[in-house]
Amino acid sequence: MLVLDGHLTGLQQRTPSMSDQRQQAAAEFRRILKVIVAITIGFTIAAITYLGATGELYVHMVVAVIGGVFISVVLGCGLFAAAFFNDKSSHDRSSTKLPQARQRGERGTI
């Protein structure tokens, strides 16, 4: 970036603030959860259809398949999505500033 006559020339890239990053990460997290639930519903329907095509379906079997397939896949994928949300929302970056400030001898909140 060049400074001519007190004016900045060149391209300035605006770095998103923490609240912007968190809002974008939250919107992406909600979107990915919707996709995960939709795909999992498809897997659950496919599993029940397969079991129905190969034999007789019982109420307990359907409940067990829903519990086993739907809840397990949503839980596993949801935890991965939460880990990615945590990384993108910069929650960890803001919490690591306080110990660094204490090491430098600064007081107060960050």
pLDDT digits (tens, 9 = 90+) for 55-81: 999 999 999 999 999 899 999 998 888
| Domain presence at residue 15 | no
Domain span holding position 31: 20-88
The predicted-structure confidence for 5-58, as pLDDT tens digits, reads as follows 555 555 455 555 667 777 888 888 889 889 999 999 999 999 999 999 999 999
Among all chains, which residue has been given the structure tokens 């001519």? Answer: 4
The predicted-structure confidence for 83-92, as pLDDT tens digits, reads as follows 888 777 766 6
| Domain presence at residue 102 | no
For residues 69 and 75, the answer to whether their CB atoms sit within 8 Å is no
Tell me which DSSP letter residue 9 carries: E
Q: How many domains does the chain have?
A: 1
pTM beyond 0.75: the answer is no
| Domain presence at residue 52 | yes
